[in-house]
Structure 1
Amino acid sequence: MIIAETERLILRRFTAEDKQAVFLLNSIPEILTYIPGEPMSSVTQAEQILNELVFPGYEKFGFGRWAVEHKADNKVIGFCGPTFVQEYNEVELGYRYLPDYWGTGIGFEAAQAALTKIPSFDIDHVIALILLGNRGSEALARKVGMTERERNTFMGHKVNVFHKSL
């Protein structure tokens, strides 16, 4: 199911066929510098994330992290989209991309597209939980109009909490 489309990207729901892409996004150490947890070591772990977190989120809330597919090469290069964060009782806009696409404007393009669709799920504001030191993610949050709300913790790590009313 396509959620949004831009000149270069398609934002859509993840499918079971995306397990390899999910594995890559969770196994490359460079990507995980500011992500809590250990890198994945098998595609089976990616299948587990899809089956136990992503797909149930779609069913329960109608939304969740969306696959970001690059039109030029027809592959999933990241994710961008909302997810409900129980610890904050709020919806977070999260994003992650393969390093080859960093610095190309893909993150901004996908986040802008996601933010235009999120209100259709009866969501009136989003947060971003960004580990301290992740300047790239903070810059993207600011670029899409989010402002820093507070410092807090998430999964045992200090985070800057950004906020945007929709």
Structure 2
Amino acid sequence: MEVLRTARLRLRWFAEADAPQVLALLNDPGWIANIYDAEVRTEAQAVDWLKQRLLTRYWHLGYGFWAVERLEDGEFLGLCGVIKRDGLDHPDIGYGFLSRHWGQGYAREAAAATFAYCREVLGMHRVMGTTGPENLASGRVLLAIGLDDRGVQQTQAHEGLSRVFEWTDDHPVDAAADIAALRARWRDALTRADRLCTFSACVTPEVSARWVTGREDFSAAAYRALVQQHAALADDVGLRAVPTPLGWRLHLP
């Protein structure tokens, strides 16, 4: 399922069929040195990692880390996206690319588009990013797209120290405006093919947890079927908006 495009790139949901590419990425020396060693050594392990770390987040959050492909030839380059980690107060942008594709501006291009998506599509008011203290190249990407350097800190999301970056919306938070924007996003998710993937980002975590618990099929086709089941609620103003740690969300009965 496609999420967004840039001048050179396509960002889309991962699928189980991407296991070979994920296996290569997780064992790339650059990934292991700058991110972590996932200890994924087989395609079967890569499928499990995909399900647990990527696919379920699409269903839980309505966003996550997406596959990055070059539009010109469909070449897999790496991943980029935004997640909400335990231990960080706000969603954070992350990315990782195969070493052979470094130095061509792909990380900055994908991260900039993700940052715009966070603000303009998902309606986020605060966005974070973290890097290893010595990973200066990754830090330059976050600075270039508009995040501010908050210095080296110990976060609950990482064992060691991290350099933390953050962006905060300058406009005062207006609950009524946020709820109106949420209802507009809800309608778009149910009526526009290019916004369908944001469906889960409109509902409370309790609702999305019901959809994930016990599920084995996290395919895009299954997600589309779930969205279709709720199509009649696109303009239902009776759906209750409630505050959550992720912002205002609709609570479905």
Q: TM-score, normalised by structure 2?
A: 0.62
**How much does 1:63 deviate?**
0.5
Equivalent residue, structure 1, for 2:100: 100
Contact 1:11-1:68 within 8 A present in 2 as well? yes
Equivalent in 154, 159, 170 of residue 156 of structure 1:
159
Equivalent residue, structure 1, for 2:232: none
Equivalent residue, structure 2, for 1:57: 57
CA RMSD of aligned residues (A): 1.6
SS in 1 for 2:164: strand
Q: Gaps (5+ residues) in structure 2?
A: 170-253
**Which one-letter code corresponds to 1:65 in the other structure?**
F
**Which one-letter code corresponds to 1:121 in the other structure?**
L
Q: Distance in 1 between matches of 2:144 and 2:58?
A: 27
**How much does 1:138 deviate?**
0.6
Equivalent residues in 2 for 1:11-90, closer than 5 Å: 11-90=11-90
Contact 1:32-1:39 within 8 A present in 2 as well? no
SS in 1 for 2:49: helix
The runs of at least 4 consecutive aligned structure 1 residues that moved more than 6 Å come to none
**Which one-letter code corresponds to 1:89 in the other structure?**
D
Contact 1:63-1:82 within 8 A present in 2 as well? yes
Greater radius of gyration (CA): 2
Q: Gaps (5+ residues) in structure 1?
A: none
**How much does 1:123 deviate?**
2.1
> What per-residue deviation string (whole Å, max 9, x for no partner) do you get for residues 131-161 of structure 1?
1100110111111111112422343111001
Shifted more, 61-70 versus 29-38: the winner is 29-38
SS in 2 for 1:4: strand
SS in 2 for 1:30: helix
**How much does 1:87 deviate?**
1.0
For this pair of structures, how many residues does the alignment match?
Answer: 166
Q: Work out the percentage of aligned pairs sharing the same amino acid.
A: 26
**Which one-letter code corresponds to 1:160 in the other structure?**
R
Normalized per residue, which structure has more strand? 1
Shifted more, 139-148 versus 116-125: the winner is 116-125
Q: Distance in 1 between matches of 2:17 and 2:118?
A: 24
Normalized per residue, which structure has more helix? 2
Higher RCO structure, 1 or 2 (CA under 8 Å, sep 6+): 1
SS in 2 for 1:121: coil
